[in-house]
A and B are shown apart, each in its own frame.
Chain A
Amino acid sequence: METYLFRSTLAEFLRPRRTMAWVIAAIAIALMGRVLISLNKDLSAQDAYLSLSGIVIYKLLALVSAIMATAVISQEVEQKTIVYLLTRPIPRPKILLARGLAAILSVAAITVFAGILLAVATVGGFPHYVLRDLLALTVGAFAYTSLFLMVSLLVSRAMIPCLLFAFGWESAVPSMQGQIYLLTVQSYLASIAQAPADDGRRSAMEFLAGLLGKAHVSSGTAWAAMAGLTAVCLAFSAAWFTRNEYVPREDGE
Chain B
Amino acid sequence: MTPNPTGPIADLRYRNYDGKLLPPNQMWWVIARQSIAQALKKKSLWFLMAASGWYYIIMIIILFFVEQNAAGSEMAKVAMEQFLEGIVWKDQFLNGFVFAQLSLLLVTLMIGSGTIANDNRANALLVYLSKPCSKLDYLVGKWIGVFLPLFVLLGTPTLLFYVYGALTFSQYGFISADPWILPKMVVVVAISAAIHSSLIVGVSSLFNQGRLAGATYAGIYFLSNFFTVLMSFFFQFSKGKAPDAVQYLTYASIDGIQTGIAKAILNTKGSPPFGFMPRNPATPIPAPNLTVALLLTGLVCAVALFAAWRRVRAVEVIG
Contacts and interface: CB of A to CB of B under 8 A. Distances in A.
Direct contact of A and B (CB under 8 A): yes
Contacts of A21: 216, 219
A96 interface: no
Contacts, number: 102
Main secondary structure of the interface of B (DSSP, over half): helix
B209 A160 contact: no
A163 B225 CA distance: 14
B223 A28 contact: yes
Contact of B227 (A32, A67, A164, A207): A32
Classify chain B: how many residues form its interface, as a range: 35 or more
Contacts of A164: 102, 106
B117 A251 contact: yes
Contacts of A251: 114, 117-118, 121, 209-211
A190 interface: no
B209 A55 contact: no
A78 B245 contact: no
Contacts of A208: 233
Interface in B195-250: 209-211, 214-216, 218-219, 222-223, 226-227, 229-230, 233-234, 236-238, 242-243, 245-246, 249
Contacts of A159: 109, 211, 214-215, 218
A163 B209 contact: no
Interface stretch (A8-16, A56-64, A132-140, A176-184): A56-64
B280 interface: yes
A54 B311 CA distance: 38
Interface in A61-113: 63, 66-67, 70, 74-75, 78-79
Main secondary structure of the interface of A (DSSP, over half): helix
Interface string B170-195: 00000000000000000000000000
Contacts of B210: 251-253
B234 A163 contact: no
Contacts of A43: 234
A63 B114 contact: no
Contacts of A35: 249
B245 A39 contact: yes
Nearest to A211: B229
B222 A39 contact: no
Given A59-B226, A251-B211, A39 B237 contact: no
B158 interface: no
A163 B219 contact: no
B123 to A, nearest CB: 12
Which of B102, B106, B223 has the largest count of A CB atoms less than 10 A from its CB?
B223
Interface string B287-319: 000000000000000000000000000000001
Interface of B: 44, 102, 106, 109-110, 113-114, 117-118, 121-122, 209-211, 214-216, 218-219, 222-223, 226-227, 229-230, 233-234, 236-238, 242-243, 245-246, 249, 280, 319
23 contacts: A21-B216, A39-B234, A39-B242, A39-B243, A39-B246, A40-B238, A51-B230, A66-B218, A67-B215, A70-B211, A78-B209, A159-B109, A159-B211, A159-B214, A160-B106, A160-B109, A163-B218, A167-B102, A168-B102, A203-B280, A205-B237, A208-B233, A253-B214
